[in-house]
Structure formats: structure tokens, C-alpha cells
Structure 1
Amino acid sequence: MDCKYIWMNGKLVPGTEVQFPFLTPAMHYGMAVFEGIRCYRAAKGPAIFRLREHIERLHKSALVLGWRELPFSVGQLVEACLETVHANGLEECYLRPLLFLAGGGWNLNIDGGQAHVGIAAWPWNAYLGPDAADRGVRANVSSYTRHHPNVVMTKAKIAGNYPNSFLAKTESVRLGFDEAIMLDAQGLVAECTGANIFIVKGNRLLTPPDAQILEGITRETVMILAREMGLEVSTQPISRDQLYLADEVFVTGTAVELAALREIDFRAIGNGRTGPITRKLQQAYNAAVRGELPRSAEWLTYLPSK
């Protein structure tokens, strides 16, 4: 991705000038936390969706990883994200704030290193392909198990956690699927490689419990929208065969937004297409991110006018 400007430690730097020394600890040990955030063309101009919540989670991830002090406050990073999108002249884009161990820490002690922060923004295409929202995608249950929460911290969006997702997603794509579903250490459904998962039974939505997953901000958004539509929403353990028997299955995330799983392990889910509940939630979510719902006002942070 080409970025005209990247925000680095308090100032905008031309994207072509951003370089990292080979001996950057984050590159060797995965000691970084990050966020994925979206900016949309909304009713009153370009707006970033749930920006503060994402930056608050970035801070929380850093604290979970072990940092005691951070170089920038939540408020400063919120303003930095707005500045980055504005400088790059983008109206719709994906933002990637990254807080990383830049120096020290070679003795595997985070207290011996320095935290740096960068923010990039670039135009974003459909994460699971151009037809994912309309037709849904094919998935399989991965042979790779989702991290155990006492092995790595699953509540934090830590860069070093993601080889687990790379292994699962690469395996699934090579097998001809679009996405992988990962089970937890007990054999229950956890999440996909970069998205949370829901099943639909009648007018009820079920999603795995919070304990072993990354609690997605899009997941929370969809749960709020579903309840406002009169749907029952609950978190509970989900077995693999419950996926097969569901009326609908869909996934949520900043990148994927909301997409149906039309087939899992060669079994059609429901009628094998995006179902009616998933479709209604897609429409509600699209309205929310574009400023078309009353609740949008609390979720959107508009860019300053040029």
C-alpha cells in the first residue's frame, strides 16, 4: 500500500521516508499492538467509525502486553488519526495505528524498551472479495486451534498473536475456502482468523463467550443494532455442529464489516446464500457507519473541514 503521509511519533512523515532499523525488537519478537479502523463517506462528510473506542482498545492492549507508560494519550492519538486521514486527502480508507517496541527489550523484558507509535491510512478494498457482502463466502473449520488465553493474551490485539491466524487462513485458502473458523482448546467455536462469528436460529443471535476471543468493536456494534431491531442476542458456548445446523452464520470485523458464511465444511448453511437476518444487519450497519441512524452521532468522528 502506498501512503502519502504516515504519522510517526507526533509528526507527519512522507510515506517513502519511513524506515526501520533491522534491529527493531517489534520485528523480531512481535512486540506491538495495533488497531484496524475505518473512515467512511458519511452524511456530513468523511467520518471515522468508533474512533475513540478503537484507540482506547489500543491503549488497553498495550497495558495487557505490559507497558506501564505510553508516549501518547488516547486524545492525542484520536487527533493523530484525524490528521493522518486529512493529510492523505482520503474520504474512505482504512487506518492502522501501531504501537511497537522500537529499542531495547533484547533481554525479553518490555521495561527495557521504548514504545513508538505510527499511523498509516490507505484506500481499502473488500476484505473477503467483492461478492462477499452479497453472496457470502465459504469457510472450513481449521486444523489450527485458537490461542489459549493463558498462553497469549487473547483480549489484546497483539501483533505477535497473528501467526496463529496466518497459519489457519493460509491453510484454508490453499484448500479452496475463503476463511477459516478456529476452535478453542476445548473444541468449541472461538472466532475466525480476523473476525468474530455469529449464528442465527430463528430470531436469536448466538456468539461465543467473551473469555477466549478478541471482543470486536464491530461485534459489539452488531449486537447493539440487533437488539434495537428486536432480536435476542446472547453469548454462549457454540459447538462445531451447531454451525452446520444454524439458519444463518455470519462474521463481523472492521475489515470484513459483516458477511455471511454460506457454506462451512462443504455443508450449505440455510439456503446457501446471505440470509434475511444477516441482510437486515448489513443494511443497519451500513446505515450506522454513514451517519444515517440516530445512534450514528455517538459513533462517528467527522474529519475537520479543509
Structure 2
Amino acid sequence: MSTTPAQRPSLRQRLSALRPNPSMLLFLATIIAVAIANSPWSTSYGHFLPYPVQVIIGGIELFRHMGHTMTISQVVNDALMAIFFFLVGLEIKQELLVGELSSPKKAILPVIAALGGMVFPVLFFLGVTPNHPESLGAAIPMATDIAFALAVLGSLGGRVPKSLYVFLATLAVADDIGGIIVIALFYSKGVSLLPLGIGLALVALLLLLGRLRVTALEPYIIAGIAVWALFLQSGIHPTIAGVLVALCIPAGSKVHIRELSRKLHEQTSDLSTEAREAERVVILSHDQLERIAEIK
């Protein structure tokens, strides 16, 4: 009896199998960072984070803020985290359109939970430190660490319902944005209105492009980078720019009936053709049955 050899997985499948879990990478990096920070190499680690990152493209220094080259710590917090918030914002928009947050009741629930997550930690902080100078830091416990919150859920894999993941992601983003706004309004040295106004105007332009169903990628990339840079210069944390740009990306929940009907018709036609071919193969004629009986 011949057996067909098992199909060898493609290079893409092998690389996908080797791809590490992002949640595990985050936990591993955290453990390494804590270990180094509490080791004899802590001094070198302290000098590593403020190291300047100088990237010049076409004579323009990419990571430059307030006349100074951004450090590794600033690039992570202000640039890479903005990309992270952009990706989370895309997931939230998809869920708002056709997913777990598509109804107003479902969408408002994580926002209310985020408000509770901001107000009650502040009240608790003020209750523990009444009439103390430390009470000025009441906004510190407001923000949720969204990266770790999602990493914990991501490490559990398919055992976590998607609705819970979307709920926590929306809650964490709303909580983080609320904390950033409070810090910008009450703790920052000042907000520069000119770059902020230009950045908001670009966001409005992106919304218009989305309404017009402009699907070319280039305008969103160029305008998105500009919005990020303008928010950075204004004193508003640029992670907000990541969320705003993500919400401007065009997407729709409408189903084109004619196109859907055509595709369904093609699929059902293929199925009926395959069924007829299967009938010709399986159903034997009377002569064929008699010949089989003679062979027996």
C-alpha cells in the first residue's frame, strides 16, 4: 500500500513557527532590565538610556526635540510607543465598526471603566497622602500600563475571549489618554498652541481623506509622521497622535450586495459542478455493476 509523503512545510511556515511570542519577549526583556538595574552593571545601564540617537535622512535629523537629539529612552517612549498606540487604535476602530464595540452600549462600557480607573486611584492616593507635598503626584497612578496589560492577556493565548481582550485594550487606551491629558493640562510647563493647531488640522485632513475613501497609503504615512512630530513639539504626548491617526484610517462595515451576490453565485456554481462530477464518479451504471458481479 503506497503512502503519499507528508508535504514539507514552506519557508514562511517554518519562520512563522519560529516567531517568538511578543508577550514572552516583553516579560523576558523586563526581567533582564530589572536584573541589570540591580547588578554591578547598573551604572552602565543608567548611561545607556540617555544615549542620544542621531538619525539623519536627507539632511534632516529625524529624532530631534526642542533643539536636542532625542535619547534612547525618549525614542522608546515618544516614537515606538506612538507606533504601538497606532496599532492598538487600528484594532479598536475595527471593533467599533464590525466587532465587539459596534453597539454604543458596548463601546461606552470600557470608557466608563477607564474613568473609574482614573478617578478612584487618585482619590485613594489623596486619601493616603492628605495635606502632604506628595499629594501633587496624584496623577501618577492614573495611567494603566497598556503594554503589560495586553501582554498578560496575550500570554494566555486562545484561553482569553476576544471580547475581554478588546474590552481591556479599549479601557487601557482610554485610561492612558485620560492620564496624558491630565498631565498635559496640570503638570506640563506649557503647551505650544501653534504646532498643536497644525497637528489637529492635519488630523481633520486625514478624516476628510477617510471620508472620501482615499485608500492610497502614502498620504496617511506622510501626514501621520507630521502629526506625530507636531504633537511632540507642542508638548502633548505623541502617543495620542498614534491613536488619532489610527482612527482616521478609512474602513467600512458596509457590504456591497451585488459583489457579495456575485461571489456567492460563483462559489455555489463551483460547488454544484463539483457535486455533479462526484456523482459521475461515484454512481455506477447497470452494466458496470454487472461486470463487477462477474469479477467476484
Classify the TM-score, shorter chain: under 0.3
Q: Which structure has more helix as a fraction of its residues? A: 2
When normalised by structure 2's length, the TM-score is 0.24
Q: Which structure has more strand as a fraction of its residues? A: 1
Higher gyration radius (CA)? 2
When normalised by structure 1's length, the TM-score is 0.24
